[in-house]
Structure 1
């Protein structure tokens, strides 16, 4: 395996999720190589194309409770077999921010959060070392108190790790996932990743496409193919 060979994972959730900050659109996907986020992706649970079941004055002018959002509390699953090497829990789930007014105020404090360490950026998270590889998967922004695994646990593909939350540097409940060549995101490099066996909804009303192996496009809605995970 060369230094940056692509790693293939399984989508770590059930149902339909919207892809954001995709490396299929640009690299580095999050606009920086810091914290090994070069090829990271975000996924937001949707129903239709809506990320939340409520839209009112708070959506335009204020923050919103995270439990308004479809992703909040949904199970996050192991994207591959491996060993849990690090867990961080105890960070609060923040209010969500769809309003541009609240996002501007939040952006001003982003540098300060970065100085506070991994918990302030990734929130509650799990780091999984892939079986027989020196590759590490980070699953971040999990719900406070929801993590079901601990360091040293062996997990199989599709096993529950925790629930989606809004902890850390997060504007609304979503999953952040990335692969690294080192367990420490402050010194690691990001590694390219792809996903196997999913259905992609690329345009409203269009017939979904079955993807055997690929990287979800920006704003594409994806769902794992039935049978990928145990019931």
Structure 2
């Protein structure tokens, strides 16, 4: 990407508008509609990042049992583990990584223990936090989609993708307490130097607790 492109994106006053990177029902968490920086930090251009957790038709994630409060749970127990993750923009694939294991999910007491290890993961850099991921360079930004399932990525470097093309599957790799997809927009494919760009989805930004129901895979 040229310096002029990065500078143009950095000074954009309007958000980068995306299609939802999935079909079905997904619960919104860590939305910049509620606070900025959305994840409590501006490191790694995450100021406007957003998370989507796959849920059932009635808006539920995996049922909470007594065991959920005391020990980690298999990622496969969660309803959206393995759901397709789709391209939210037309663009070119500029990075992929899918060699990280999908670890267990952490709720209740396990989530507190897991949170204590977050500083170590952050110290290892953005890739350690993102886990398996894809970067798409579109017209208005570079889009990162993170925490994908190990060995699920279906695209290659330099491949052109259209809105709705399947990229991989929802997983639980990287800094993730349960299967979900993390989306962020950057002004540069070099995440360590990039600035965050604000985003919307089909012209609006969902808030924490909203359940998004994406009916179709393509909406360019």
TM-score of the pair, normalised by structure 1: 0.87
Give the structure, 1 or 2, with the largest relative contact order (CA under 8 Å, sep 6 or more): 2
Please point out which of 187, 205, 209 is paired with 1:215. Answer: 205
Please point out which of 93, 104, 110 is paired with 1:102. Answer: 110
CA contact (8 A) 1:20 1:218 kept: yes
- CA drift of 1:158 comes to 0.2
State yes or no: 1:46 paired with 2:55. Answer: yes
- CA drift of 1:117 comes to 2.5
CA–CA distance in 1 between the matches of 2:18 and 2:153? 20
Query: Counterpart of 2:40?
Result: 31
**Structure 2 stretches lacking a partner, 5+ long:** 1-7
Query: Counterpart of 2:184?
Result: 178
CA–CA distance in 1 between the matches of 2:211 and 2:118? 28
Please point out which of 2, 7, 15 is paired with 2:16. Answer: 7
CA–CA distance in 2 between the matches of 1:122 and 1:86? 12
Query: Counterpart of 1:58?
Result: 67
Question: How big is each residue's C-alpha offset from its partner over 1:117-154, in whole Å with a ceiling of 9 and x where there is no partner?
Answer: 23310000000000x34x10000000000001111010
**Structure 1 stretches lacking a partner, 5+ long:** 197-212
Question: How big is each residue's C-alpha offset from its partner over 1:76-103, in whole Å with a ceiling of 9 and x where there is no partner?
Answer: 000010000001111110100112x111
CA–CA distance in 2 between the matches of 1:107 and 1:227? 34
State yes or no: 1:126 paired with 2:116. Answer: no
Query: Counterpart of 1:19?
Result: 28
Question: How big is each residue's C-alpha offset from its partner over 1:57-76, in whole Å with a ceiling of 9 and x where there is no partner?
Answer: 32121100001111210000
Give me the CA root mean square deviation: 1.6
- SS at 1:103's partner residue? helix
State yes or no: 1:80 paired with 2:89. Answer: yes
- SS at 1:70's partner residue? coil
- CA drift of 1:22 comes to 0.6
Please point out which of 136, 161, 168 is paired with 2:142. Answer: 136
Aligned length in residues: 210
Which runs of at least 4 in structure 1 moved beyond 3 Å after TM superposition? Answer: 225-230
Query: Counterpart of 1:69?
Result: 78
TM-score of the pair, normalised by structure 2: 0.91
- CA drift of 1:194 comes to 0.4
